[in-house]
Structure 1
């Protein structure tokens, strides 16, 4: 059990440290970063479950859901929209700490990674129940380089929208735009996996696709943090 929990939780924590330490100037306080991680892993998950059940009950008989099918509708439409809505809600509790554009990226990533940690535990334990210990380990390893990075990167983008409003004095439309971009990323990720299962094309090919996608988005977020941090630091020096 300790190994299974470690493989579920340690990668998200390491990624959180990686994102947070991408800043060179005025790094975010650990207390606030951990607060967002715990928000995502507890409140974010609970709220997502509640909203997903509610939305499913409202739209499960709709023409759209019927055309897509229940599984595709929930995975590609409902889950991305709901989860990318609930994960960054906790950023309101660290609003006072968001005084630089990159801060929203860091806190958003922390919330998303906390969500991923809890989701990892659920999927790893389910795999153990279905296929044994080795299946659980494999699930944990695969999720460490795919779903975990997706959750962190997607929610970071919504957080960036929030910091553009708070720090950059942009309109709230920036948050909505970033939220929709995050949900689209999430939906494309889930769609790739759903299509692999539906049409039974190479699982390895699908895994490579989503892994390249999530690693690319993670480095995009990290590089954006570093770029914004450098610009802010240079402004202070000058």
Structure 2
């Protein structure tokens, strides 16, 4: 800009760097030296005309003897102001295509989670490929007619582990890569819970018909599909019921987080629980001078004396402590990004459902000849694992994101999950009590048409109803307590329950 304008740009040595400035604005249209800018409001200004000169005064006539004064000459007119030069625009530090645009600072927490997700997904995929080979081998042995009762449960369980590794690992790898790229993830939305409930009732009815007609062994492929559905549908019914009860609260989570939580429970949770329970079994057996080989050998003298007590300890103490601690570990990695206790509970519940799917399908397949009966009794397993893992994840939220009484509340949530699991296993292990209590309870049966229920199975069904009531009460309390919770994670770009896409990051 010319010096006459009264403005000069600072020298280049004191200008801000190009990466932190905004693109320069072009000059206004029509001005001298300026480029055309469509829609400019400031037209070029013509020069101002000069002021006319003043007329001179006539001279005074002199008195006699005195000469007169000469007249004053007029002042010359002022020249007009020059036209305004065009604005050169703001400093031209950056333009698209000439230099890199300013970027949002990298989130180190998000980057670490993305890398961990990629590594975990790759390991899950590799494990799934190995298990796929083993499942194919077990399936060939099962089809060839070699001990179907042994190879069929092994085949189904291996297929479940394979699916968890391949399918879950693939989705987690996809979301982890998009997380590192800063791509958004959509808000988690599910169909109404009654769709899954109706599907479960229809599946269970077909299974009961096959069992009553003793056709379960004749259609193993159909039986396998029904076994998978009777494990998946009740778990999804419970999960979507929780979402429906929470629909009035201001909260949200993404498909990315749900996928990571579900897969971590079905892979990491199962793996850690299996390894830790095996280690605990060997340690307890070594400390009590029991040989683990006796546990499944009723003809061994140690079976009646030591096995019952041994299994009770494993069921009531070891399993609840280990499983309730490791199931939501994958969700604990996200605890720094929980927006509310509701999101923590839902993601923990997702991990528990992933754990339940693998475990329940394994239990039902072991009793495939009577699988509908087993599936009916195991209907509440999704509630057990989902509610327990949700409470532990809620405890993680209190430990990480709150200040008041956080240790007490976190421990209370974990303790509830452990005691709930211990009570469930205790009711299912009453027949393991020492004689005469255990054998007496084992001999008692309630016959309902083609099915018979033992006292332990009836207690499990009763506990399922009680836990369902507790689940509804806990969810309602969360909805009331976190009614004003922030609807979206801070790094998710302002997600809301009505938004389409959202969560950037993990």
Name the TM-score, length of structure 1 as normaliser.
0.84
Instruction: Please name the residue that 1:236 is paired with.
Output: none
Q: Which one scores higher on RCO, CA 8 angstroms, separation ≥ 6? A: 1
In structure 2, C-alpha distance between the alignment counterparts of 1:192 and 1:4, rounded to whole Å: 24
Whether 1:228 and 2:481 are equivalent positions in the alignment is: yes
Q: CA deviation at 1:114?
A: 1.1
Q: CA deviation at 1:231?
A: 4.4
| Corresponding residue SS for 1:99 | coil
How many pairs does the alignment contain? Answer: 227
Instruction: Please name the residue that 2:79 is paired with.
Output: none
Instruction: Please name the residue that 1:141 is paired with.
Output: 376
Runs of 4+ in 1 over 4 A off after TM superposition: 65-68
| Corresponding residue SS for 1:185 | helix
2:266 paired residue among 30, 41, 57: 41
Q: What 5-or-longer segments of structure 2 have no aligned partner?
A: 1-223, 291-305, 433-437, 445-454, 487-506
Q: CA deviation at 1:25?
A: 1.5
Alignment of 1:1-238 (within 5 A): 1-21=224-244, 22-23=246-247, 24-62=249-287, 69-128=309-368, 132=369, 135-144=370-379, 146-169=380-403, 170-196=405-431, 198=438, 199-200=441-442, 202-203=455-456, 205-232=458-485
The answer on whether the counterparts of 1:99 and 1:166 sit within 8 Å (CA) in structure 2 is: no
The structure-2 alpha-carbon separation of the partners of 1:104 and 1:161, relative to structure 1 and needing over 3 Å to count, comes to same
**Which protein has the larger Cα radius of gyration, Structure 1 or Structure 2?**
2
In structure 1, C-alpha distance between the alignment counterparts of 2:397 and 2:280, rounded to whole Å: 29
Name the TM-score, length of structure 2 as normaliser.
0.42
Q: CA deviation at 1:61?
A: 4.2
The structure-2 alpha-carbon separation of the partners of 1:216 and 1:73, relative to structure 1 and needing over 3 Å to count, comes to same
Q: What 5-or-longer segments of structure 1 have no aligned partner?
A: 234-238
The structure-2 alpha-carbon separation of the partners of 1:82 and 1:204, relative to structure 1 and needing over 3 Å to count, comes to closer
The answer on whether the counterparts of 1:115 and 1:151 sit within 8 Å (CA) in structure 2 is: yes
In structure 2, C-alpha distance between the alignment counterparts of 1:174 and 1:101, rounded to whole Å: 12
Structure 1 range deviating more: 37-46 or 199-208: 199-208
The answer on whether the counterparts of 1:162 and 1:174 sit within 8 Å (CA) in structure 2 is: no
The answer on whether the counterparts of 2:332 and 2:396 sit within 8 Å (CA) in structure 1 is: no
RMSD: 2.5
Larger relative helix fraction: 1
